[in-house]
A and B are shown apart, each in its own frame.
Chain A
Amino acid sequence: MIEINNLYKKFGKLSVLDGLDLEIKSGGIFAILGPNGSGKTTLIKSVLGMVIPDSGEIKIDNNSVLNQWDYRNQINYLPQIANFPANLTVNELLAMVKNLRPKAANEKELISVFGLESFLDKKLGNLSGGTKQKVNIVLTFMFDSDLIILDEPTTGLDPIALIHLKEIIQSEKEKGKTLLITTHIMSLVDEIADEIVFLLDGNIYFKGSVDQLKTQTGQTSLERAIANLIAKENV
């Protein structure tokens, strides 16, 4: 379970997280939504300890994670932009990340699902954006962790890879994992998310299921419901 209390973060004068409170129960898929610059990535990076909040508290399973590092062994993180050292091959990268974690990895299966076998000896700098994202996904899902954080997982993926990704996400959910996903693709949210967390101006603007959101805004499609949420704020 993740528990976030009164989280504040400013970048210079720009206040990104403004006293955010959030509780996420174990198990299920949580979609973190919000317009560009609403603090989604900052929130995720705070949980990972990559961004250090100005004040507030983040607890995972009742243990504070600020200034800790070993809890990250229980988190798989898919970064928004897949940037890897260009002079390593895919195999070397996989070996290195495996080396860093004292856990068993099942990368073979994932590599074959995404058809990456022929790329294994290629340098990461020579891969296309979509292929890099696939490597990124393999890196993220090859470990068995309780919490999986995906920041824009669909960027650059072809439709087939997207289907595979959805299958993987579903199967992880069935194993009882907690998944946090940020995305701008509403059909994906509609399809897989159990609960929506809508961020606006550094605070939680809405939290609940997809159906709740639809009834609350009186819209039938999720896309319109979200647009409605953003529009209401601007009036």
Chain B
Amino acid sequence: MRSRWSYVYFAFYLALGFVLLFLNNDVNKAIITLMNIIIVLTPLIGTIFGVMYYYNSKEFTELLLAQPIKRNTIFMGQYLGIAISLTLSLVLGLGIPFLLYGLLRSTAIFDFGLLLVVGSFLNFIFVALAFNIALSNENKIKGFGYAILLWLFLAVIYDGVFLISLVMFNEYPLDKLALTASMLNPIDLSRILILLKLDISALLGYTGAVFKNFFGTNQGLILSLFILLLWVVFPVWRINRKLRKKDF
């Protein structure tokens, strides 16, 4: 793939990594700031890139469809192409400054690794969701609109609704509900996963304790990663299903 944008994106992360390290002068603190950025930004970039790429390469896709290749192969190739190049930008762009700064000698290496893993998952999830949206909408503007809306919903609105519901129902035991609700949103799930690994869960108060009990354990970690994996598998499966019926 010869996409200029993935280089820009790579350069952006590279710069971001250096600047954060420079300003914070501490790997641990930089990771926290970075988390906030990754959690919001990777889904956004993944969604936008996914939708943009699909619509831009439409003619090219049609050319390929007339060739002796399976439909699934074409689209899975495109999907993996974007997701992998975005992930590479993320991992290399952030990895290089941190490595140079002496990540290997610090204790934060595991946290940093988790951050990158979660970031990569978010890339794969949101590119897949973007493809789903683009496949279902012939109209470019509509597709873009839905994609942005999806991101906005999962990144911002979901949290708001979640908080309001917690406040409204605070007489009831909410641990289960809170857990399930955060499982259903990949962005929330990633955020909690990293926060807890960073051991700042005391800030979260009571619910923090509940989360800590659950996510803090290895079991919780594995389950969370498994759910993130489901978030990748399900949209990808739906892409393939959609393709079987799609006209070009």
Contact = CB atoms under 8 A, between A and B. Distances in A.
A84 B246 CA distance: 21
Interface string B27-60: 0000000000000000000000000000001011
Give the most central of B65, B66, B246, B247: most A CB within 10 Å. B66
Contacts of A87: 2
Contacts of A48: 65-66
A69 B70 contact: yes
A188 interface: no
Given A69-B68, A97-B67, A100-B68, A83 B247 contact: no
B7 to A, nearest CB: 13
Contacts of B64: 100
Given A45-B248, A50-B247, A51-B247, A69 B59 contact: no
A34 to B, nearest CB: 19
A101 interface: yes
B105 interface: no
Contact of A85 (B60, B246, B248): B60
Given A79-B62, A79-B63, A83-B59, A45 B68 contact: no
Contact of B62 (A49, A69, A83): A83
B247 to A, nearest CB: 4
B66 A69 contact: no
A75 B68 CA distance: 9
Contacts of A45: 247-248
Interface in B78-106: none
Nearest to B247: A51
A233 interface: no
A33 to B, nearest CB: 22
A10 to B, nearest CB: 11
Interface string A41-75: 00001001111100000000000000101111101
B59 A85 contact: yes
A45 B245 CA distance: 14
Nearest to B245: A52
A31 to B, nearest CB: 20
B23 interface: no
Nearest to A87: B2
B69 interface: yes
A141 interface: no
A50 B57 contact: no
Contacts of B60: 83-85
Give the most central of A69, A81, A87, A88: most B CB within 10 Å. A69
A77 interface: yes
24 contacts: A11-B247, A45-B247, A48-B65, A48-B66, A50-B62, A50-B65, A50-B66, A52-B244, A52-B246, A52-B247, A67-B244, A69-B68, A69-B70, A71-B68, A72-B67, A72-B68, A72-B69, A79-B62, A83-B59, A83-B63, A84-B60, A85-B59, A100-B67, A100-B68
Given A77-B66, A100-B67, 8 more contacts: A49-B65, A50-B247, A67-B244, A72-B68, A72-B69, A84-B60, A100-B68, A101-B68
Ranked 3 nearest A-B pairs via Cβ? A83-B59, A73-B68, A72-B68
